[in-house]
Structure 1
Amino acid sequence: MPDTQPTALVDAAQPTLPTIGILGAGKVGTVLSRLLLAAGYRVLIAGSGSPAKISLIIDVLAPGAVAMTASEVARDSDIVILALPLGKYRSIPADLLEGKLVIDAMNYWWEVDGIRDDLNDPRLSTSELIQSFLPASRVVKAYNHMGYHDLDEGPAPLGTPDRKAIGIAGGDELALADVAALVNASGFDPVLVGTLRDSINLQPGSELFGANFTASGVQDAVARFPSTERGLEVAAARAGDELLSAT
């Protein structure tokens, strides 16, 4: 298991870039497509319908990305980014993602997903929920806490002063290294914030959610999380759940 202390991660360039698949052709999905295309990756992207429905949008917002079905994206990609509404996670082709690295960039929005207690339970991070749905995949949380405008406007080369940072969370060291490389290539400093259980501090309600911080800012926000209102709520809910489990 990786050290759960927030630690800035730096990764060397890979000799052969993996193919990146993005499930979700909304604002976050198209912004990530542009960033990764600019970094030299091949990008496949799927929307909620047929490729023909999004091809014109992709030609304008992410020229160079290839519009495909969700199944084709899952099958033909080395790394898959989930950028669709969280409430639709059961539509993800889990069988085609077996053994693959999956980046969870999704968030719970009640306006989109409806009132869902299962998606807003402080005892469980939403990435833990996704990992349970994709038991044969390696899930890492990333790209979810920064607004799409900041993602679009914030990338900078490695070593740039005050370069912005993306928090990542997971339990697989090799997967975390691969995601760190991807985040760095897309123009941001990757910062480890813990395991998937800890990724709740990247979700809505946390100081980090919607923030546009440097690596040290991300680390400081992670350190403050346990004492915040949301952190105390999460700790109380989890302590109660553990007490019930023990009786």
Structure 2
Amino acid sequence: MDARIRTLGIIGAGRLGTVIASLAVAAGHRVRVARSGAPEPIARAMAAIGASAGSVGSVIDGADAVLLALPLGRYRTLPAERLRGMLVIDAMNYWWGADGIRPDLTDPRTSTSELVQAFLAGARVVKALGHMGYQDLEDEARPSGAAERKAIAIAGDGDGDVALVARLVDDLGFDPVVAGDLASGIMLEPGAEAFGADVDSRELRAMLERFPTSQRGIVVARARSGSLGQG
């Protein structure tokens, strides 16, 4: 059986969502994109890259997997019940300029993807495609096996879901690197060395291996150790 994501739904029609939509179309995927409001304002732009625009509900219902490219602070606006049972790819990150000052989104005891997973009960959340800048995503895509191909890290709890997202990452033009479980997604967030990285798979793995001894890694380890001690 050829297990892969054939129809990709994307919620978020900003720069990141549009770049990923364009890469997915170029790789032969069917792509439908939704914004927070009515789809008509993005219909022409999506058609120009070979994707289609739809409402959030219709995009979810017609997709094999849904990628989240919204500002992270809006994750609670997602239709949790409609996403139940879906493979959800979390490409969101905290940015104070868009999200405001949000201590709940910067707590080192948990990754933001775990917050998304807790809200989307019953969905299968995998962290990916959010640690590289959208301009680098657009510029660096290369065919499989190409020299100087860059890498994208993936964090998730289900082996099958991680494998599906890894296949998608490869289709989009990048070498997939598995970072670990969903909690390990904190290594891909702002403040970590891998965030913003535009590197190959060897260097990306080295960054992930260095995380525990990095300043951010030490903060995370101490916070998580403290929370365990209190439980």
Q: Taking structure 2 as the reference length, what is the TM-score of the superposition? A: 0.97
Would you identify which runs of 4 or more consecutive aligned residues in structure 1 move more than 6 Å? none
Matches of 2:131 and 2:102, distance apart in 1: 20
* Equivalent residues in 2 for 1:149-228, closer than 5 Å: 149-228=135-214
CA contact (8 A) 1:140 1:176 kept: yes
One-letter amino acid of the structure 2 residue matched with residue 229 of structure 1: Q
Residue of 14, 24, 28 corresponding to 1:36: 24
Aligned to 2:15: 27
Structure 2 residue matching 1:21: 3-state secondary structure: strand
Question: How far, CA to CA, are the matches of 2:39 and 2:118 in structure 1?
Answer: 28
Superimposed CA distance per residue, residues 164-183 of structure 1 (whole angstroms, 9 cap, x where no aligned partner): 00000001010011001000
3-state SS in 1 of match to 2:146: coil
Amino acid at match of 2:17: G
Structure 2, unpaired ranges of 5+? none
Inter-CA distance 16–207: structure 2 relative to 1 (3 Å threshold) = closer
Kept after mapping to 2: 8 A contact 1:165/1:214: yes
TM-score, scaled to structure 1: 0.91
- 1:27–1:148 contact (8 Å) kept in structure 2: yes
Query: Is 1:45 aligned with 2:33?
Result: yes
Q: Give distance in 1, aligned partners of 2:173 and 2:50.
A: 19
Length, aligned pairs only: 231
Q: Secondary structure at the match of 1:43?
A: strand
Separation in 1 of the partners of 2:40 and 2:193? 39
The Cα of 1:76 is off from its aligned counterpart by 1.3
Structure number with the bigger relative contact order (C-alpha 8 A, sep ≥ 6) is: 1
Give the unaligned 5+ runs of structure 1: 1-12
Q: Distance in 1 between matches of 2:162 and 2:197?
A: 21
Identity of aligned residues (%): 50
